[in-house]
Amino acid sequence: MIDAGRFVASKGLGSDGWLEARRSGVTATQVAKAGSGPGGFEQAVEDYSADFVEQDNPYMVFGRVWETPIAMILKNDYGVMPNDWLIRNGEFPHHMATPDGISLDHSQISEIKTTGKDWNPEKLPIQYRRQVQWQMHCTDTARCVFAWMLREQRDTAAGPMFVPGWFEPRVVMIERDEEMIAALKDTANRLWERVNNG
């Protein structure tokens, strides 16, 4: 079980505090970007000097609207509860992540995405595989219930709008990958050293 002290900040209790808490370490989004190559690493470094502001657009609005219904499906089918807490790794306090869900016994997490293009379950986008492995590292979990909903555009009387492409999301189980986690830990430690020492 994850010790209560590792739950750092809740997005639901205040997004400003949650965003600020993210500055005290390396999150899944940051390590996934830094691990994409030299350009991504430099961009991740620069991100620390910018305001952590969540941009909004119609794609993000669709994702936000559908995250809760999808989370309820995952709760019912897999026993993973919705989560908005930033969680620290027990060994490396600057390793942090906010998985979209975590089971009551803290054995598995969930991650929810929306996309304009369906994915091959055997070959999910690498940035999301990195993100999920980092989340499993930070939460000490063994697997992730990864769900995605197709987003389609429809013309309506009120103008174009996004609608779900399916009745339910597609789901795949992602197992913990220690080799990828080791590489991400190295990337995160190099990123954190660079951010703190210039």
Q: How does residue 52 score in pLDDT terms, banded at 50, 70 and 90? A: low
Number of domains in the chain: 1
Read off the pLDDT of each residue in 155-161 and give the average, rounded to a whole number.
80
Question: Which residues constitute the domain of residue 38?
Answer: 4-197
Give the rounded percent of residues in the chain with a pLDDT score beyond 90: 79
Q: What does the DSSP assignment read for 179-192?
A: HHHHHHHHHHHHHH
Q: 118-121: long-range contacts at Cβ-Cβ below 8 A with a sequence spacing of 24 or more? A: 118/150, 118/165, 118/170, 119/148, 119/170, 121/170, 121/172
Q: The domain spanning residue 90 has which CATH number?
A: 3.90.320.10
Higher pLDDT, 15 or 77: 77
Give the rounded percent of residues in the chain with a pLDDT score beyond 70: 97
Q: How does residue 169 score in pLDDT terms, banded at 50, 70 and 90? A: very high
Q: What is the pLDDT of residues 106-149, one digit of tens each?
A: 999 999 999 999 999 999 999 999 999 999 999 999 999 999 99
Question: Within 10 Å of residue 46's Cβ, how many Cβ atoms?
Answer: 10
| Residue 163: both structure tokens together | 């609608």
Are the C-beta atoms of 45 and 191 separated by less than 8 Å? yes
